[in-house]
Amino acid sequence: MSTEFDSHESNEMAGGATWTTSPNSEQLPRAVEPRQKQAIERLKERLEEDRVTRIALNFLDKFMGVHLKDGVIDWMDGRRMGMVGQEVVNFGSDSFLGLDRDPRVQAAIIEGMNEWGTHNGSSRAFGNIELCEEAERRLARWMGVEDTLIYPSVTLANIGLLPGLAGKRDLLVLDRKSHDSLQQSALIAAGNGAKVVYLDPCTGDSLAKVLRAEEYDGCVVVVDGIYSMTGEIPPLNDLDQVTRAHGGILYVDDAHGTALVGPKGRGAASLKLDSIDNALVVGSLSKAFSCMGAFVTCDSRLKRILKIRSSTFVFGGPVPPPYLAGICKVCDILESPEHDEMLRRLRQMVKQLTDGIRAMGLTACGGEAAIVGVTIGDIEQTFKAGKALFDRGYYVQSATYPAVPIMSGLLRIQVNANHTPENITGLLEALAALKSEFGLVKR
């Protein structure tokens, strides 16, 4: 009996491409038809005409020799690494506690893989593995909350949560400076009918004005715990007080505060708020945790609801088991006195760095977390300053528009617990040389 797949005839596909099928042979595409090729060329031209794409592509061409964003890392040894043929100290890593190189975390990840395999291969909406429940319990215990819900990344947590928390007749108030994943999530919520209002500046007073003026059923106020480029903390306590007074909920994306800031490293929200019981705190499991994923604090009743209302939870895959095992191991470390010692060392190095930069007469932003921003200003200067430090053996990130406002380019320095005071001294010497070479002034 013949089927349509036994046919020797060609099947026309969308765009004019054709496939030849014959028994016992793989299906091979014929050469792409001119009509389809033209469509692909037209697509590329149309995308290149977009203003933002055009500016970004011009950037890449103009700063080819000095922007290091495509730099491939050849090897790593602690915080030393090889990049485009040069050995440098890496001050661009989010693995703030140095746990990416910790043998206990590495061994736990391997054991997790041996026991559970590389992936459990289905959305958690279809089922769960015990290791995931355990990781959520361990995170809740460390954070001092009733429960947590894990997502595969902070971006996927935000995209799943915000549209799930605010719909028709609800209000989302969003710090204009908050992370891009929150901005994108708010657009989805707006598409579903929520009203989105942006706060700029993000202060208790500006929030109070918005909340007095708007009518809404539910209200969620969304901020970063730590601004990811400058390392600064928004006025979380003021925002929380105003939010509570208007019956709303504060949502804090604490990606860069998790395991680093505040009591037991529970994050910027735990540091600044009287209590996080009336807030939703999202933590990262990829940055200081050096594993993969994110979690949101909740209680068991809210967790049931979030599992139903978060589209990325329902329609996406889970954190793979090896990383869940790694997360449990990191929780062991966070609940031990060793964590206090790591934080003490880290905070001392951050202070050494910020004190040194300020003593040079330059602006050091941040300092409460492990990110320190040195303001440069102009985009070209910022790229060149990053490259000059690189040439002296220190890799930091040159953060420019759109990650920061257009003339507020900065050197983003991430201090890690496995840096040494000597690394910081060396970086400060390189910054001092840069200051005189570039004529940097306080901005």
Q: Does 286 bind ligand PLP (CB under 6 A)?
A: yes
The single residue listed with the structure tokens 């060149």 is 384
Q: Which of 124, 179, 272, 329 binds ligand PLP (CB under 6 A)?
A: 179
Q: Name the one range near ligand PLP by CB under 6 A: 164-172, 240-248, 250-258, 431-439.
A: 250-258
- Distance, in Å, from the CA atom of 135 to the CA atom of 295, rounded to the nearest integer, reads 10
The minimum distance between CB 404 and ligand PLP, in angstroms, equals 13
- Distance, in Å, from the CA atom of 401 to the CA atom of 352, rounded to the nearest integer, reads 28
- Distance, in Å, from the CA atom of 280 to the CA atom of 275, rounded to the nearest integer, reads 11
Q: Does 416 bind ligand PLP (CB under 6 A)?
A: no
Q: Which residue number, 108 or 150, has a Cβ lying nearer to ligand PLP?
A: 150
The minimum distance between CB 226 and ligand PLP, in angstroms, equals 7
Binding to ligand PLP, residues 219-238 (CB under 6 A): 224, 228
Q: Does 181 bind ligand PLP (CB under 6 A)?
A: yes
The answer to whether the bond into 235 is cis (omega within 30° of 0) is: no
Angle between helices 154-165 and 300-309 (to 10 degrees): 90
Q: What is the dihedral of CA 170, 173, 179, 184, to 10 degrees?
A: 40
Q: Does 339 bind ligand PLP (CB under 6 A)?
A: no
The minimum distance between CB 441 and ligand PLP, in angstroms, equals 29
The answer to whether the bond into 152 is cis (omega within 30° of 0) is: no
The minimum distance between CB 283 and ligand PLP, in angstroms, equals 10
Give me the residues paired with residue 295 across strands: 150, 283
Strand 219-224 versus strand 171-175 pairing type: parallel
Strand order in the sheet with 409-414: 364-366, 371-377, 409-414, 397-399
Look at residues 340, 327, 341 and name the one whose alpha carbon lies nearest to residue 105. 327
Q: Does 154 bind ligand PLP (CB under 6 A)?
A: yes
Q: Which residue number, 360 or 403, has a Cβ lying nearer to ligand PLP?
A: 403
Q: Which residue number, 170 or 224, has a Cβ lying nearer to ligand PLP?
A: 224
User: In 170-292, which ranges are E strands?
Assistant: 171-175, 195-199, 219-224, 249-253, 279-284
Q: Which residue number, 284 or 434, has a Cβ lying nearer to ligand PLP?
A: 284
- Terminal-residue alpha carbon distance, the chain: 79
Listing DSSP states for 293-335 in one string gives: -EEEEE-HHHHHHHHHH-HHHHHS----HHHHHHHHHHHHHHT
The minimum distance between CB 429 and ligand PLP, in angstroms, equals 28
Q: Which residue number, 154 or 404, has a Cβ lying nearer to ligand PLP?
A: 154
* Structural contact between residues 328 and 401, judged by C-beta atoms closer than 8 angstroms: no
Binding to ligand PLP, residues 124-153 (CB under 6 A): 153
Q: Which of 67, 79, 138, 256 binds ligand PLP (CB under 6 A)?
A: 256
The minimum distance between CB 224 and ligand PLP, in angstroms, equals 5
Listing DSSP states for 14-43 in one string gives: GGG-EEE--TTS--EEPSPPHHHHHHHHHH
Q: How many residues bind ligand PLP (CB under 6 A)?
A: 13
Binding to ligand PLP, residues 287-306 (CB under 6 A): 294
Q: Which residue number, 68 or 157, has a Cβ lying nearer to ligand PLP?
A: 157
The minimum distance between CB 220 and ligand PLP, in angstroms, equals 16
Look at residues 382, 389, 375, 387 and name the one whose alpha carbon lies nearest to residue 434. 389
Q: Which residue number, 256 or 345, has a Cβ lying nearer to ligand PLP?
A: 256
Q: Does 368 bind ligand PLP (CB under 6 A)?
A: no
Q: Which of 155, 270, 310, 408 binds ligand PLP (CB under 6 A)?
A: 155
The minimum distance between CB 225 and ligand PLP, in angstroms, equals 7
The minimum distance between CB 258 and ligand PLP, in angstroms, equals 10
The minimum distance between CB 297 and ligand PLP, in angstroms, equals 15
Q: Which residue number, 98 or 293, has a Cβ lying nearer to ligand PLP?
A: 293
Can you count the helices (H) and strands (E) in the chain? 15, 18
The minimum distance between CB 380 and ligand PLP, in angstroms, equals 24
Q: Does 253 bind ligand PLP (CB under 6 A)?
A: yes
The contact set with ligand PLP (CB under 6 A) reads 153-155, 179, 181, 224, 228, 253, 255-256, 284, 286, 294
